[in-house]
Structure 1
């Protein structure tokens, strides 16, 4: 989107890509928290708050990348975004800036789950969205753990063909769940949740952190994904090892399409 500049020429209005955190509860209901990085405030802000700003111009949907951006008069877009970091052609090298902020590299459409979400539902989400892991967040959207395909497979192997069960005891005044002889009891399977299988230690970075910090931390900790958080500690994106490789490949001049899958 362009406007006429003071000399009559066209002036590009910066676009700032909207990030969506999809939080799934134990009832299967999904809520979406949309945020955008504001270069003036140097922090994330809710899209509805952004729309009330006098610098807000419009919302723009890009059919190619299938992303929605805020068109805003608040200066240049964060370095490394799809708008600020286009691939001109194969063989054209772009500056490899190790200080590039994660806000422009991370995957902005991230699936999160609450700690009480059952394991079966987590498996369904991993398959449906073709991802290998996701943050586990509290009621405020802050990460409390990470759950991966390896965690799900490990839990399934430990359970084997049998499931843990708990005894059902009827309270006074309640009818017995089943009519059965004395000495017999009713048991129901114990639901395994994200809280039971997740890695509780969360390695995370702020959205203003640089790609060099993220790459070093991921290599040191031996992890393939990092939750990216805003000032208030809420998840606004996720950085995977593929995101880092994709960014580096583009800087080297290779034509690399947007991610079809979240890592």
Structure 2
């Protein structure tokens, strides 16, 4: 590949981690949205848009960490990236103005409002996570479902689910062999829409860790949605992400979180 012309007379090669939002919809269908943070534009952008930029150089896949990065001529990358060298950023200055894009969890699993609690429970267990954001058709966060929400709904449901009466057409009755005076009922599935916390606490990806920590402490929550300029979800910031940043800044060696990857 031919490298672009030097910017201001010199090259600044940097790796920028591609963030992936895996969205699980009704009936289990899945879609993926890949974005990368551009330090020059100071915003997230689609990978396809990034590839068309004259500063774009290549895509790099790290087989050990199983992550993909954009290699470009756009200055330094974020100081701590998921799957990067755990020594990177250790003992650096404790800067409370560090942007969330540097420390947030970048591989996010999301669900649509119509996904059932059984499917959500399977995601929480399978990926060893404690909650999932709920997003609309434009990938904007509309709610948050925690492990406690799922457990509470399951306990309230018990062994049986609510049901609703179904009106059948005459040509649908015969195959079911339903006698006179009997009715057909179907179970009402409990979905993310029914149990989610509809008020989404969120901050822009350029907000500081100081703002995020203060908001989480004030509201008594353990995670925040991180959004881009257009309001789309690009990451999740958990209380553990803040603690990892604090520990690394204080000089401790803290490895990236061990998570199952899809």
Give me the TM-score of the superposition, normalised by structure 1.
0.89
Structure 2 equivalent of residue 23 of structure 1: 23
Structure 2 equivalent of residue 61 of structure 1: 61
CA distance in 1, matches of 2:101, 2:85: 13
Structure 1 equivalent of residue 94 of structure 2: 96
CA distance in 1, matches of 2:210, 2:22: 27
1:202 to 200, 203, 206: 200
Q: Deviations over 1:49-77 (max 9, x none)?
A: 10110000111122343321111111222
1:186 to 184, 187, 190: 184
CA RMSD of aligned residues (A): 2.3
**Aligned-pair distance for 1:142?**
0.1
The answer to whether structure 1 residue 150 and structure 2 residue 145 are counterparts is no
The 1:170–1:62 alpha-carbon spacing in structure 2 relative to 1, beyond 3 Å, is same
The 1:188–1:51 alpha-carbon spacing in structure 2 relative to 1, beyond 3 Å, is same
SS in 1 for 2:172: coil
1:249 to 227, 247, 250: 247
CA distance in 2, matches of 1:137, 1:158: 25
Give me the TM-score of the superposition, normalised by structure 2.
0.90
Q: How does 1:1-263 map to 2 (within 5 A)?
A: 13-81=13-81, 87=87, 93-176=91-174, 178-261=176-259
**Aligned-pair distance for 1:40?**
1.2
Q: Deviations over 1:140-183 (max 9, x none)?
A: 00000000110000101111122101112103543356223222
CA distance in 2, matches of 1:162, 1:83: 43
Aligned length: 253
CA distance in 1, matches of 2:62, 2:153: 40
CA distance in 2, matches of 1:204, 1:134: 14
Gaps of 5+ in 2: none
Q: Is the 8 A contact 1:105 1:239 kept in 2?
A: yes
Please identify runs of 4+ aligned residues in structure 1 that moved more than 4 A: 82-86
Q: Is the 8 A contact 2:12 2:74 kept in 1?
A: no
Q: Deviations over 1:74-128 (max 9, x none)?
A: 1222344469986269xx6210100000101001000000000111111111111
SS in 2 for 1:120: helix
